[in-house]
A and B are shown apart, each in its own frame.
Chain A
Amino acid sequence: MEKRVTFNERWLPYLLVAPQIVITLVFFFWPSGQAIWQSVLIEDAFGGNTKFVWFDNFVHLFSDAAYYTSARITLVFSTLVATVGLAVSLLLAVMADRVIRGAGLYKTFLVWPYAVAPAVAGVLWGFLFNPSVGIVAWLLSGVGIEFNYVINGNQALLLVVIAAVWNQVSYNFLFFLAGLQSIPKSLIEAAAIDGAGPGRRFWDIMFPLLSPTGFFLLVINILYAFFGTFGVVDALTKGGPGQATNILVYKVYSDGFRGQDLGGSSAQSVILMIVVIALTVVQFRFIERRVHY
């Protein structure tokens, strides 16, 4: 789409795009290029000598068991975050859509967790499940479950999932609610007249009509689980215990800054870039389809 009426100026448009372009070049293209360049270099620990090594960093990465562990954890983690997050928020949205009185109030009560920083969300849930003072940990030990996320890897992963879902529920809820409210009431009424009960109406009418929203949210939630949860992990577990919550984006950070392995970290960055680009393309293709829908 283009404007029919435009202005004729020679230098003004360049001046107007300059700030955005300069910042993009300096803080985006330059570092991204460096990530790609460093991913084919090996640098010694003191930063003195660098050597061009072709794809050795990638070969090394793909023969590293720790990287596969991290990839597997990321897969489990993002699957859990996406499915649990979508299921919970869909349930809440369907119920909030059904009630007439109080719907606005419920919305207000459900949107605010979005505003809580992921790192702070991690601290909050860490407090609830803290082995010595956490109230939930205390309740669980009352029913015979020893919950100690500091030493138990699976419990640590579970806790990170809970905190990450909590942080994302409001986002999913708002989109599901908007999707539900855009379904024409006449469809629902026609089904009701034909004798379909609430459950039948949900599965046969609302759920299929919600599927575009659901698919969009699925991509967003996977992206969120991959990249948006850094703060939750860092505040709660720092990737531990052992490797139990060391998701890929956390590994880029810990290998690069704590392990000082620039080449390896950059190779991981490049792989993650490819993942993001693939997911973004999927998302855009889908949105194009939704326009015709």
Chain B
Amino acid sequence: MVENRPFTTFLSHLVVIVGVLIIAFPVWMTFVASTHDQQTMLRSPVPLLPGPYLFDNYTQVLLQGFGRGFGGAPIWVTLMNSLVMALGVALGKIAISIISAFAIVYFRFPFRMAFFWAIFVTLMLPVEVRIVPTYGVVANLGMLNSYSGLIIPLIASATATFLFRQFFLSVPDELTEAARVDGASPMRFFWDILLPMSRTTIAALFVIQFIYGWNQYLWPLLITTKESFYTVVMAVSRQANVVDATPSWNLLMAMAMLAMVPPVLVVVFMQRQFVRGLVETEK
């Protein structure tokens, strides 16, 4: 603090607290809605404080989904799908990026720079832009309605490759020399020296990519037509589209809470890695 101005300090706190409350408000209302029964949620105005049906609502959506002929898989199935997809995308991206960065930094071979640029240009086009032909390719390969179709097309990653490349370039050459003098093969050097040193970078990337994978929407929407492959974000959005016809706001909001909680917990509990990953992947 540069100077003591109690009033401006108070004002600063006030502004931030109001901001936090406004930002948290939609989630509070979602939580409240998920703890009431259907009738209460149809009366306007809706209640502002939690009700007694928390357990009932959550067990119903988890085990039965919306039920009563309105379709939708039980939410635990979609949560598992989202988990598989998020872990697959995060670990897949890290795995293929770290080895390609290793090749590009630690070896000299023909077409090295061509490979580097081929990876680089993928930075430029988000999947939303080339969605129709990418769908066509995945359909031709017979990967619709499968975990490989959900995961593999999303794991090519220029950002992760760059991040590892930057990190490897900062690793002292003496380590490589020492390893070579001791007769270590390149892969031995990779496993025993480089990989352990990359731990913090891997953790930061993991948090970012886990959230990216969990929150994917357009991609699973296109390539899954079977309910057993729906992700939780898709399930929420699908039910939201029919909620006026089947007014179970309480169940929909319980589903929305379940879709939000895992990635939010990851961010809150791995906040340091999250901030690091966010700042570094965007450079």
Contacts and interface: CB of A to CB of B under 8 A. Distances in A.
Contact of A23 (B104, B155, B275): B155
A70 to B, nearest CB: 15
A7 B186 contact: yes
A120 B118 contact: no
B100 A273 contact: no
B88 interface: no
A230 B264 contact: no
B245 interface: no
Contacts of A27: 134, 137-138, 152-153, 156
A277 B118 contact: no
Contact of B129 (A21, A29, A189, A269): A269
Interface residues on B, range: 35 or more
A94 B138 CA distance: 46
Contacts, number: 300
B13 A99 contact: yes
A28 B156 contact: yes
A4 B173 CA distance: 7
B156 A198 contact: no
B45 A5 contact: no
Contacts of B2: 185, 188-189, 192, 201
Interface stretch (B61-69, B72-80, B196-204, B253-261): B253-261
A256 B131 contact: yes
Contacts of A273: 124-125, 129-130
A102 B10 CA distance: 12
Contact of B3 (A111, A192, A269): A192
B240 A123 contact: yes
Chain B interface SS verdict (over half): helix
Interface in B43-97: 44-46, 48, 95-97
A59 interface: no
Interface stretch (A30-38, A61-69, A75-83): A30-38
A141 to B, nearest CB: 9
B26 A166 contact: yes
Interface string B18-56: 011001111101100100000001101110100000000
A8 B135 CA distance: 40
B23 A113 contact: yes
A106 B128 CA distance: 33
Interface in A1-41: 1, 3-10, 12-14, 16-17, 19-21, 23-32, 34-35, 38
Given A30-B137, A174-B279, A252-B128, 5 more contacts: A110-B23, A117-B215, A132-B244, A138-B46, A234-B237
Interface of A: 1, 3-10, 12-14, 16-17, 19-21, 23-32, 34-35, 38, 88, 91-92, 95-96, 98-100, 102, 106-128, 132-135, 138-139, 166, 169, 171, 174-175, 178, 185, 188-189, 192, 198, 201, 216, 220, 227-228, 230-231, 234-235, 249, 252-253, 256-257, 262, 265-266, 269, 272-273, 276-277, 280, 287
